[in-house]
Structure 1
Amino acid sequence: MLDEILKSIVEMEEEEAIKKAKEYLDGGGDPQKLLEVCRDAMGEVGARFEKGEYFLSELILGGEIFKQIMEFTLPKIKSGSVKKIGKIVLGTVKEDVHNIGKDIFKVFAEASGFEVIDIGIDTPEEKFVEAVKEHKPDIVGMSCLITAGVTSMKKTVDKLKEAGLRDSIKIIIGGGRVDESVKEFTGADAWADDAAKGVRLCKQLIGVEG
Protein backbone atom coordinates (compact mmCIF):
# COMPACT_ATOMS: atom_id res chain seq x y z
CA MET A 1 0.00 0.00 0.00
CA LEU A 2 2.78 2.47 0.88
CA ASP A 3 4.49 1.76 -2.45
CA GLU A 4 1.21 2.51 -4.22
CA ILE A 5 0.86 5.81 -2.33
CA LEU A 6 4.41 6.81 -3.25
CA LYS A 7 3.78 5.97 -6.92
CA SER A 8 0.49 7.92 -6.94
CA ILE A 9 2.16 11.05 -5.54
CA VAL A 10 5.12 10.83 -7.93
CA GLU A 11 2.80 10.24 -10.90
CA MET A 12 0.62 13.23 -9.86
CA GLU A 13 -2.49 11.09 -9.29
CA GLU A 14 -3.94 13.50 -6.75
CA GLU A 15 -7.29 11.85 -5.94
CA GLU A 16 -5.80 8.36 -5.90
CA ALA A 17 -2.91 9.37 -3.61
CA ILE A 18 -5.21 11.05 -1.07
CA LYS A 19 -7.74 8.18 -1.18
CA LYS A 20 -5.05 5.54 -0.62
CA ALA A 21 -3.41 7.56 2.15
CA LYS A 22 -6.74 7.81 4.00
CA GLU A 23 -7.41 4.10 3.50
CA TYR A 24 -3.95 3.27 4.84
CA LEU A 25 -4.51 5.29 8.02
CA ASP A 26 -8.09 4.07 8.47
CA GLY A 27 -6.77 0.51 8.29
CA GLY A 28 -4.45 1.16 11.23
CA GLY A 29 -1.38 2.16 9.21
CA ASP A 30 1.55 3.95 10.85
CA PRO A 31 1.26 7.73 10.24
CA GLN A 32 5.03 8.11 10.72
CA LYS A 33 5.69 5.64 7.89
CA LEU A 34 3.17 7.47 5.70
CA LEU A 35 5.00 10.73 6.39
CA GLU A 36 8.31 9.13 5.39
CA VAL A 37 6.79 7.81 2.15
CA CYS A 38 5.44 11.27 1.34
CA ARG A 39 8.90 12.73 1.93
CA ASP A 40 10.45 10.12 -0.35
CA ALA A 41 7.85 10.90 -3.01
CA MET A 42 8.59 14.63 -2.83
CA GLY A 43 12.29 13.84 -3.11
CA GLU A 44 11.60 11.92 -6.32
CA VAL A 45 9.42 14.76 -7.67
CA GLY A 46 12.29 17.17 -6.96
CA ALA A 47 14.79 14.87 -8.66
CA ARG A 48 12.62 14.65 -11.78
CA PHE A 49 12.32 18.43 -11.82
CA GLU A 50 16.11 18.82 -11.64
CA LYS A 51 16.50 16.39 -14.55
CA GLY A 52 14.00 18.39 -16.62
CA GLU A 53 11.45 15.56 -16.62
CA TYR A 54 8.98 17.59 -14.54
CA PHE A 55 8.15 21.29 -14.73
CA LEU A 56 6.95 23.96 -12.31
CA SER A 57 3.33 22.82 -12.62
CA GLU A 58 4.28 19.33 -11.38
CA LEU A 59 6.26 20.81 -8.50
CA ILE A 60 3.25 22.84 -7.42
CA LEU A 61 0.82 19.92 -7.77
CA GLY A 62 3.19 17.59 -5.92
CA GLY A 63 3.39 20.13 -3.12
CA GLU A 64 -0.41 20.41 -2.98
CA ILE A 65 -0.84 16.62 -2.74
CA PHE A 66 1.79 16.50 0.01
CA LYS A 67 0.10 19.31 1.97
CA GLN A 68 -3.33 17.68 1.73
CA ILE A 69 -2.05 14.33 3.00
CA MET A 70 -0.14 16.06 5.81
CA GLU A 71 -3.32 17.80 6.99
CA PHE A 72 -4.89 14.51 8.08
CA THR A 73 -1.65 12.64 8.88
CA LEU A 74 0.19 15.03 11.21
CA PRO A 75 -2.58 15.14 13.86
CA LYS A 76 -2.19 11.36 14.21
CA ILE A 77 1.52 11.63 14.98
CA LYS A 78 2.41 12.30 18.60
CA SER A 79 3.93 15.71 19.11
CA GLY A 80 7.70 15.53 19.13
CA SER A 81 7.91 12.19 17.36
CA VAL A 82 8.59 13.76 13.97
CA LYS A 83 12.35 14.08 13.71
CA LYS A 84 13.34 17.64 12.87
CA ILE A 85 16.72 18.09 11.24
CA GLY A 86 16.91 21.88 11.50
CA LYS A 87 15.08 25.20 11.52
CA ILE A 88 14.77 27.74 8.69
CA VAL A 89 13.50 31.33 8.80
CA LEU A 90 12.19 32.00 5.30
CA GLY A 91 10.97 35.13 3.55
CA THR A 92 10.75 37.02 0.27
CA VAL A 93 12.82 40.17 0.66
CA LYS A 94 11.69 43.80 0.74
CA GLU A 95 10.27 45.23 -2.50
CA ASP A 96 9.38 41.77 -3.82
CA VAL A 97 5.87 40.34 -3.44
CA HIS A 98 6.41 37.01 -5.24
CA ASN A 99 5.70 33.97 -3.12
CA ILE A 100 5.43 30.95 -5.42
CA GLY A 101 9.11 29.95 -5.26
CA LYS A 102 9.21 30.54 -1.51
CA ASP A 103 6.09 28.47 -0.96
CA ILE A 104 7.36 25.54 -3.05
CA PHE A 105 10.68 25.60 -1.20
CA LYS A 106 8.82 25.62 2.12
CA VAL A 107 6.89 22.46 1.22
CA PHE A 108 10.06 20.67 0.12
CA ALA A 109 11.96 21.79 3.22
CA GLU A 110 9.18 20.62 5.54
CA ALA A 111 8.98 17.34 3.63
CA SER A 112 12.69 16.87 4.33
CA GLY A 113 12.29 17.40 8.07
CA PHE A 114 12.99 21.11 8.48
CA GLU A 115 10.85 23.32 10.67
CA VAL A 116 10.11 26.41 8.56
CA ILE A 117 9.12 29.80 9.95
CA ASP A 118 7.65 31.70 7.00
CA ILE A 119 7.80 35.46 7.58
CA GLY A 120 6.07 36.37 4.33
CA ILE A 121 6.70 38.60 1.32
CA ASP A 122 8.06 42.15 0.95
CA THR A 123 9.90 41.48 4.21
CA PRO A 124 11.99 44.36 5.65
CA GLU A 125 15.52 43.65 6.86
CA GLU A 126 14.49 44.31 10.47
CA LYS A 127 11.86 41.58 10.34
CA PHE A 128 14.50 39.01 9.37
CA VAL A 129 16.64 40.19 12.31
CA GLU A 130 13.70 39.94 14.73
CA ALA A 131 12.81 36.46 13.45
CA VAL A 132 16.38 35.21 13.90
CA LYS A 133 16.48 36.57 17.45
CA GLU A 134 13.12 35.01 18.29
CA HIS A 135 13.38 31.61 16.59
CA LYS A 136 17.17 30.98 16.61
CA PRO A 137 17.20 29.15 13.26
CA ASP A 138 20.06 27.20 11.71
CA ILE A 139 19.42 28.79 8.32
CA VAL A 140 17.91 31.97 6.89
CA GLY A 141 16.39 31.60 3.43
CA MET A 142 15.75 34.66 1.27
CA SER A 143 13.89 34.71 -2.03
CA CYS A 144 13.60 37.31 -4.80
CA LEU A 145 12.39 37.34 -8.38
CA ILE A 146 13.15 40.95 -9.25
CA THR A 147 16.43 42.85 -9.55
CA ALA A 148 15.56 45.26 -6.72
CA GLY A 149 15.39 42.28 -4.41
CA VAL A 150 19.12 41.62 -4.79
CA THR A 151 19.98 44.88 -3.01
CA SER A 152 17.43 44.02 -0.32
CA MET A 153 19.19 40.68 0.20
CA LYS A 154 22.53 42.40 0.72
CA LYS A 155 20.98 44.91 3.14
CA THR A 156 19.41 42.04 5.09
CA VAL A 157 22.73 40.20 5.38
CA ASP A 158 24.38 43.46 6.50
CA LYS A 159 21.67 44.01 9.14
CA LEU A 160 22.20 40.49 10.46
CA LYS A 161 25.93 41.25 10.72
CA GLU A 162 25.24 44.53 12.55
CA ALA A 163 23.02 42.66 15.01
CA GLY A 164 25.83 40.18 15.71
CA LEU A 165 23.77 37.28 14.35
CA ARG A 166 25.56 36.45 11.10
CA ASP A 167 28.04 33.95 12.53
CA SER A 168 25.32 31.86 14.19
CA ILE A 169 23.41 31.12 10.97
CA LYS A 170 23.84 29.96 7.40
CA ILE A 171 22.19 32.02 4.66
CA ILE A 172 20.80 30.62 1.43
CA ILE A 173 19.29 32.78 -1.32
CA GLY A 174 17.05 31.73 -4.17
CA GLY A 175 14.90 33.00 -7.02
CA GLY A 176 15.01 34.06 -10.63
CA ARG A 177 17.59 36.82 -10.15
CA VAL A 178 20.05 34.75 -8.14
CA ASP A 179 23.36 33.22 -9.25
CA GLU A 180 26.94 32.83 -8.00
CA SER A 181 27.75 36.53 -8.51
CA VAL A 182 24.68 37.54 -6.47
CA LYS A 183 25.75 35.13 -3.72
CA GLU A 184 29.15 36.85 -3.61
CA PHE A 185 27.59 40.34 -3.70
CA THR A 186 25.14 39.65 -0.88
CA GLY A 187 27.52 37.63 1.31
CA ALA A 188 25.25 34.56 1.42
CA ASP A 189 26.59 31.05 1.99
CA ALA A 190 24.74 29.33 -0.85
CA TRP A 191 22.30 29.95 -3.68
CA ALA A 192 19.78 27.82 -5.52
CA ASP A 193 17.53 28.28 -8.52
CA ASP A 194 15.07 25.53 -7.64
CA ALA A 195 13.45 24.16 -4.49
CA ALA A 196 14.90 20.64 -4.55
CA LYS A 197 18.45 21.92 -4.97
CA GLY A 198 17.84 24.50 -2.25
CA VAL A 199 16.79 21.87 0.29
CA ARG A 200 19.77 19.69 -0.60
CA LEU A 201 22.10 22.65 -0.03
CA CYS A 202 20.40 23.44 3.29
CA LYS A 203 21.11 19.90 4.46
CA GLN A 204 24.74 20.28 3.45
CA LEU A 205 25.03 23.66 5.20
CA ILE A 206 24.09 22.11 8.55
CA GLY A 207 26.03 18.89 8.03
CA VAL A 208 23.09 16.61 7.24
CA GLU A 209 23.68 14.37 4.24
CA GLY A 210 22.05 15.93 1.20
Structure 2
Amino acid sequence: MGVIKDSLSNLDDEKALAEVKKALDANTAPDKILGECQDAMVAIGNAFSAGTMFVSDLMMAGAIFEDISKLVLPKIKAAGTGKSGAKVVIGTVKNDIHNIGKDIVANMLTASGFDVIDVGVDVPAENFVKAVKDSGAKALAMSCLLVSCYDSIKDTVEALKKEGLRDKVKIIIGGGPVDDHVVKYSGADGFGLDPQACIHLCEEAYA
Protein backbone atom coordinates (compact mmCIF):
# COMPACT_ATOMS: atom_id res chain seq x y z
CA MET A 1 0.00 0.00 0.00
CA GLY A 2 1.08 3.60 -0.52
CA VAL A 3 1.08 3.32 -4.28
CA ILE A 4 -2.61 4.27 -4.42
CA LYS A 5 -1.87 7.48 -2.55
CA ASP A 6 1.08 8.24 -4.84
CA SER A 7 -0.91 7.53 -8.00
CA LEU A 8 -3.81 9.72 -6.95
CA SER A 9 -1.48 12.47 -5.73
CA ASN A 10 0.16 12.45 -9.16
CA LEU A 11 -3.27 12.48 -10.86
CA ASP A 12 -2.42 9.23 -12.65
CA ASP A 13 -5.95 7.93 -13.09
CA GLU A 14 -5.10 4.71 -14.93
CA LYS A 15 -2.50 3.62 -12.39
CA ALA A 16 -4.66 4.65 -9.43
CA LEU A 17 -7.64 2.62 -10.65
CA ALA A 18 -5.44 -0.35 -11.55
CA GLU A 19 -3.88 -0.34 -8.08
CA VAL A 20 -7.29 -0.10 -6.41
CA LYS A 21 -8.51 -3.10 -8.40
CA LYS A 22 -5.36 -5.00 -7.44
CA ALA A 23 -5.86 -4.12 -3.76
CA LEU A 24 -9.50 -5.23 -3.84
CA ASP A 25 -8.53 -8.50 -5.52
CA ALA A 26 -6.06 -9.03 -2.69
CA ASN A 27 -8.91 -8.52 -0.18
CA THR A 28 -7.45 -5.30 1.19
CA ALA A 29 -9.95 -3.65 3.55
CA PRO A 30 -11.93 -0.96 1.68
CA ASP A 31 -11.46 1.54 4.49
CA LYS A 32 -7.67 1.23 4.10
CA ILE A 33 -8.00 2.01 0.39
CA LEU A 34 -10.17 5.03 1.10
CA GLY A 35 -7.73 6.06 3.82
CA GLU A 36 -4.95 6.25 1.25
CA CYS A 37 -7.23 8.28 -0.99
CA GLN A 38 -7.91 10.63 1.91
CA ASP A 39 -4.17 11.11 2.46
CA ALA A 40 -3.73 11.84 -1.23
CA MET A 41 -6.55 14.39 -1.26
CA VAL A 42 -5.04 16.14 1.76
CA ALA A 43 -1.69 16.31 -0.06
CA ILE A 44 -3.40 17.70 -3.15
CA GLY A 45 -5.22 20.28 -1.04
CA ASN A 46 -1.94 21.35 0.53
CA ALA A 47 -0.34 21.63 -2.90
CA PHE A 48 -3.24 23.79 -4.05
CA SER A 49 -2.81 26.05 -1.01
CA ALA A 50 0.91 26.31 -1.81
CA GLY A 51 0.16 27.30 -5.40
CA THR A 52 1.70 24.20 -6.99
CA MET A 53 -1.66 22.75 -8.03
CA PHE A 54 -4.67 24.47 -9.54
CA VAL A 55 -8.46 24.26 -9.62
CA SER A 56 -8.32 21.99 -12.66
CA ASP A 57 -6.09 19.61 -10.67
CA LEU A 58 -8.59 19.57 -7.80
CA MET A 59 -11.39 18.77 -10.23
CA MET A 60 -9.39 15.95 -11.81
CA ALA A 61 -8.50 14.53 -8.39
CA GLY A 62 -12.17 14.63 -7.45
CA ALA A 63 -13.12 12.77 -10.62
CA ILE A 64 -10.49 10.07 -9.98
CA PHE A 65 -11.66 9.70 -6.39
CA GLU A 66 -15.25 9.33 -7.60
CA ASP A 67 -14.18 6.53 -9.96
CA ILE A 68 -12.30 4.82 -7.13
CA SER A 69 -15.37 5.09 -4.91
CA LYS A 70 -17.46 3.33 -7.55
CA LEU A 71 -15.09 0.37 -7.28
CA VAL A 72 -14.81 0.34 -3.50
CA LEU A 73 -18.33 1.08 -2.24
CA PRO A 74 -19.99 -2.03 -3.74
CA LYS A 75 -17.45 -4.13 -1.83
CA ILE A 76 -18.40 -2.37 1.39
CA LYS A 77 -22.10 -2.90 0.81
CA ALA A 78 -21.57 -6.53 -0.17
CA ALA A 79 -19.69 -7.12 3.07
CA GLY A 80 -22.74 -6.00 5.02
CA THR A 81 -20.76 -4.08 7.63
CA GLY A 82 -23.63 -1.80 8.58
CA LYS A 83 -24.14 -0.35 12.06
CA SER A 84 -27.75 -1.53 12.51
CA GLY A 85 -29.59 1.50 11.18
CA ALA A 86 -27.01 4.14 12.09
CA LYS A 87 -27.81 6.88 9.59
CA VAL A 88 -25.96 10.09 8.79
CA VAL A 89 -27.27 12.94 6.66
CA ILE A 90 -24.47 14.81 4.90
CA GLY A 91 -24.31 17.77 2.54
CA THR A 92 -22.60 21.06 1.70
CA VAL A 93 -24.42 24.12 3.01
CA LYS A 94 -26.38 26.66 0.98
CA ASN A 95 -24.34 28.91 -1.35
CA ASP A 96 -21.34 26.55 -1.22
CA ILE A 97 -20.85 24.14 -4.12
CA HIS A 98 -17.65 22.41 -2.94
CA ASN A 99 -18.10 18.66 -3.01
CA ILE A 100 -14.71 16.91 -2.82
CA GLY A 101 -14.32 17.04 0.96
CA LYS A 102 -17.96 16.07 1.48
CA ASP A 103 -17.61 13.12 -0.87
CA ILE A 104 -14.51 11.86 0.92
CA VAL A 105 -16.24 12.02 4.30
CA ALA A 106 -19.40 10.40 2.91
CA ASN A 107 -17.42 7.50 1.49
CA MET A 108 -15.37 7.06 4.65
CA LEU A 109 -18.59 7.01 6.69
CA THR A 110 -19.99 4.36 4.37
CA ALA A 111 -16.78 2.37 4.74
CA SER A 112 -17.26 2.58 8.51
CA GLY A 113 -20.70 1.01 8.22
CA PHE A 114 -23.01 4.02 8.33
CA ASP A 115 -26.06 4.40 6.11
CA VAL A 116 -25.24 7.74 4.47
CA ILE A 117 -27.90 10.06 3.03
CA ASP A 118 -26.01 12.50 0.80
CA VAL A 119 -28.18 15.52 -0.03
CA GLY A 120 -25.58 17.15 -2.27
CA VAL A 121 -24.21 20.69 -2.38
CA ASP A 122 -25.73 24.17 -2.03
CA VAL A 123 -28.31 22.63 0.31
CA PRO A 124 -30.90 24.98 1.86
CA ALA A 125 -31.83 24.54 5.51
CA GLU A 126 -35.24 23.06 4.73
CA ASN A 127 -33.68 20.25 2.70
CA PHE A 128 -31.40 19.27 5.58
CA VAL A 129 -34.40 19.33 7.91
CA LYS A 130 -36.46 17.15 5.57
CA ALA A 131 -33.64 14.61 5.22
CA VAL A 132 -33.17 14.37 8.99
CA LYS A 133 -36.92 14.10 9.56
CA ASP A 134 -37.53 11.51 6.84
CA SER A 135 -34.52 9.34 7.69
CA GLY A 136 -34.58 9.57 11.46
CA ALA A 137 -30.81 10.12 11.39
CA LYS A 138 -29.19 10.98 14.71
CA ALA A 139 -26.20 12.64 13.01
CA LEU A 140 -26.04 15.51 10.53
CA ALA A 141 -22.72 16.42 8.90
CA MET A 142 -22.49 19.76 7.10
CA SER A 143 -19.55 20.82 4.96
CA CYS A 144 -18.64 24.50 4.62
CA LEU A 145 -15.54 25.81 2.86
CA LEU A 146 -16.58 29.45 2.57
CA VAL A 147 -16.48 31.94 5.44
CA SER A 148 -19.46 33.67 3.84
CA CYS A 149 -21.57 30.55 4.42
CA TYR A 150 -21.36 30.36 8.21
CA ASP A 151 -24.88 31.78 8.38
CA SER A 152 -26.08 28.85 6.28
CA ILE A 153 -24.96 26.51 9.06
CA LYS A 154 -26.68 28.68 11.67
CA ASP A 155 -29.88 28.84 9.61
CA THR A 156 -29.98 25.04 9.43
CA VAL A 157 -29.54 24.71 13.18
CA GLU A 158 -32.36 27.20 13.74
CA ALA A 159 -34.60 25.38 11.26
CA LEU A 160 -34.04 22.11 13.13
CA LYS A 161 -35.02 23.85 16.37
CA LYS A 162 -38.26 25.10 14.83
CA GLU A 163 -39.14 21.57 13.74
CA GLY A 164 -38.41 20.17 17.20
CA LEU A 165 -35.52 18.09 15.88
CA ARG A 166 -32.52 19.89 17.35
CA ASP A 167 -32.25 17.72 20.44
CA LYS A 168 -32.63 14.55 18.39
CA VAL A 169 -29.62 15.00 16.11
CA LYS A 170 -25.89 15.60 16.63
CA ILE A 171 -24.75 18.38 14.30
CA ILE A 172 -21.21 18.08 12.99
CA ILE A 173 -19.55 20.63 10.74
CA GLY A 174 -16.35 20.47 8.72
CA GLY A 175 -14.31 22.28 6.11
CA GLY A 176 -11.11 24.30 5.91
CA PRO A 177 -12.18 27.45 7.81
CA VAL A 178 -14.34 25.70 10.42
CA ASP A 179 -13.23 25.75 14.06
CA ASP A 180 -14.59 26.02 17.61
CA HIS A 181 -15.61 29.63 17.02
CA VAL A 182 -17.83 28.58 14.12
CA VAL A 183 -19.30 25.80 16.25
CA LYS A 184 -20.28 28.32 18.93
CA TYR A 185 -21.56 30.86 16.40
CA SER A 186 -23.71 28.38 14.52
CA GLY A 187 -24.95 26.30 17.45
CA ALA A 188 -23.49 23.05 16.09
CA ASP A 189 -22.23 20.30 18.41
CA GLY A 190 -18.71 19.88 17.10
CA PHE A 191 -16.39 19.96 14.11
CA GLY A 192 -14.17 17.45 12.41
CA LEU A 193 -10.73 18.41 11.15
CA ASP A 194 -10.64 15.26 9.03
CA PRO A 195 -12.89 12.33 8.06
CA GLN A 196 -11.77 10.23 11.03
CA ALA A 197 -12.81 12.97 13.45
CA CYS A 198 -16.19 13.19 11.75
CA ILE A 199 -16.64 9.42 11.96
CA HIS A 200 -15.84 9.51 15.67
CA LEU A 201 -18.44 12.23 16.27
CA CYS A 202 -21.05 10.28 14.31
CA GLU A 203 -20.27 7.20 16.38
CA GLU A 204 -20.86 9.27 19.52
CA ALA A 205 -24.34 10.11 18.23
CA TYR A 206 -25.18 6.39 18.30
CA ALA A 207 -23.30 5.47 21.47
Under a length normalisation based on structure 1, what TM-score does the superposition of the two structures give? 0.73
Matches within 5 A, 1:13-92: 14-21=16-23, 24=25, 34=27, 37-43=29-35, 46=38, 54-56=43-45, 63-64=65-66, 66-70=68-72, 73=75, 77=78, 82-85=80-83, 86-92=86-92
Pairwise CA distance, 1:180: 0.2
Letter in 1 for 2:34: M
Compared CA separation, residues 38 and 145, structure 1 to 2 (3 A) = same
Q: Distance in 1 between matches of 2:29 and 2:64?
A: 13
Pairwise CA distance, 1:118: 0.9
Tell me which residue corresponds to 2:172: 172
Letter in 1 for 2:80: V
2:104 matches 1:112: no
SS in 1 for 2:173: strand
Pairwise CA distance, 1:61: 8.3
Structure 2 unaligned spans of 5+ = 8-14, 46-57
Q: Distance in 2 between matches of 1:74 and 1:199?
A: 16
Tell me which residue corresponds to 1:142: 142
Q: Distance in 2 between matches of 1:43 and 1:21?
A: 13
Task: Tell whether the 8 Å contact from 1:89 to 1:139 is kept in structure 2 after alignment.
Answer: yes
Compared CA separation, residues 123 and 90, structure 1 to 2 (3 A) = same
SS in 1 for 2:81: coil
Number of aligned residue pairs: 185
Compared CA separation, residues 40 and 168, structure 1 to 2 (3 A) = same
Q: Distance in 2 between matches of 1:205 and 1:72?
A: 25
SS in 2 for 1:90: strand
Compared CA separation, residues 55 and 93, structure 1 to 2 (3 A) = same
Letter in 2 for 1:188: A
Letter in 2 for 1:42: L
Task: Tell whether the 8 Å contact from 2:73 to 2:111 is kept in structure 1 after alignment.
Answer: no
SS in 2 for 1:94: coil
Structure 1 unaligned spans of 5+ = 1-5
Pairwise CA distance, 1:151: 0.7
Pairwise CA distance, 1:106: 1.0
Tell me which residue corresponds to 1:3: none
CA RMSD of aligned residues (A): 3.1
Pairwise CA distance, 1:8: 5.0
Q: Distance in 1 between matches of 2:151 and 2:114?
A: 27
Q: Distance in 2 between matches of 1:68 and 1:21?
A: 14
Q: Distance in 1 between matches of 2:203 and 2:63?
A: 24
SS in 1 for 2:97: coil
Tell me which residue corresponds to 1:181: 181
Deviations 1:130-175 (A, max 9, x none): 1111111120111111122111111110110110011111000111
Compared CA separation, residues 62 and 131, structure 1 to 2 (3 A) = same
Task: Tell whether the 8 Å contact from 2:37 to 2:65 is kept in structure 1 after alignment.
Answer: no
Deviations 1:56-95 (A, max 9, x none): 47x95884464142266367x2xxx612222111111112
